[in-house]
Amino acid sequence: MGTENTVLPYFNQPAPDIVPMVHLEACNKHALMQHFLALTSRDRYLRFGYAIGDEQIQIYIDQINFDQDEIFGIFNHKLELIAVAHIGISRMPEDTRQAEFGVSVVPKAQGKGFGYRLFQRAVLFARNHGIQTLTLQCLSENGAMMHIVRKAGMTVQSNHGETMASLKIPPANLPSVLDEWMQSASARADLAIKKMTFRAAAPD
């Protein structure tokens, strides 16, 4: 009996819902700039709280401390950075460590769950890095972000059109460490594959 056309049942199953969120470094500054330039002026306003200009975005990127903070990004198959999360980690004593979450998704990729997945990734990162509280600040008019805040069960304080939200983070455990390890490894592998296929498809 020939086996060449046999497909193992496992490979007929739908792939798990993996969203590869990769750790970004200083070498990704250009992609970060392209990401923020792709936001609408309304989205820039919602992300930074004011009508930030291109030069100020460049300053913001140049001032990111890649050694202290954590930045996650989602690349599409054209290697465009379609979503970015910045986890700003405060210099506080070990037992009161806090981090602030900021996120943006380019208009063509909004509404596909990337914003919420990046939030979940930030929570996992915080948990495994001894951060006790994850906070975020957004305008109360920001419907999508307020939805994420409520869905995550964050504690909310609103004042004069601004909302401060915070989430207590439990300590790390074995499943949380393994989960992060698996997510980091699969995101790196996914990016390597995207780079290979994108370069192979690019004209000489």
Ligand X SMILES: CC(C)(COP(=O)(O)OP(=O)(O)OC[C@H]1O[C@@H](n2cnc3c(N)ncnc32)[C@H](O)[C@@H]1OP(=O)(O)O)[C@@H](O)C(=O)NCCC(=O)NCCS
Give the C-alpha separation, 184 to 32, whole Å.
19
Phi, psi of 118 (to 5 degrees): -65, -35
Decide if 102 contacts 88 (C-beta within 8 A).
yes
Is residue 103 a contact point for ligand X (CB under 6 A)? yes
The window from 9-17, 58-66, 111-119, 180-188 that contacts ligand X (CB under 6 A) reads 111-119
- List the one residue from 23, 29, 112, 194 that touches ligand X (CB under 6 A): 112
Among 28, 104, 163, 183, contact with ligand X (rule: CB under 6 A)? 104
Tell which one of 47, 86, 121, 127 touches ligand X (CB under 6 A).
Answer: 47
* CA–CA dist 109, 83 (Å, integer): 8
Which run of H or E residues covers position 34? Answer: helix 29-37
Determine, following the binding rule CB under 6 A, whether residue 73 of this chain makes contact with ligand X.
Answer: no
DSSP tag of 46: H
Residue 175 corresponds to which tokens in the numbers above? 């499943």
- Residue 87 as a binder of ligand X (CB under 6 A): the answer is no
Question: In the complex, what is the shortest distance from the CB of residue 143 to ligand X, in angstroms, rounded to a whole number?
Answer: 3
Establish if 46 lies at the interface with ligand X (CB under 6 A).
yes
Assigned token pair, 78: 């054209």
Interactions with ligand X, residue window 115-154 (CB under 6 A): 115-116, 136, 138, 142-145, 147-148, 151
The window from 16-24, 112-120, 161-169, 175-183 that contacts ligand X (CB under 6 A) reads: 112-120
Total of residues contacting ligand X (CB under 6 A):
23
Beta bridge partners of 138: 163
By the 8 A CB rule, do 132 and 168 touch? yes
Least spacing, CB of residue 138 vs ligand X, in Å: 5
Distance CA 52, CA 44 (A): 6
- Sites of contact with ligand X (CB under 6 A): 43, 46-47, 102-105, 110-116, 136, 138, 142-145, 147-148, 151
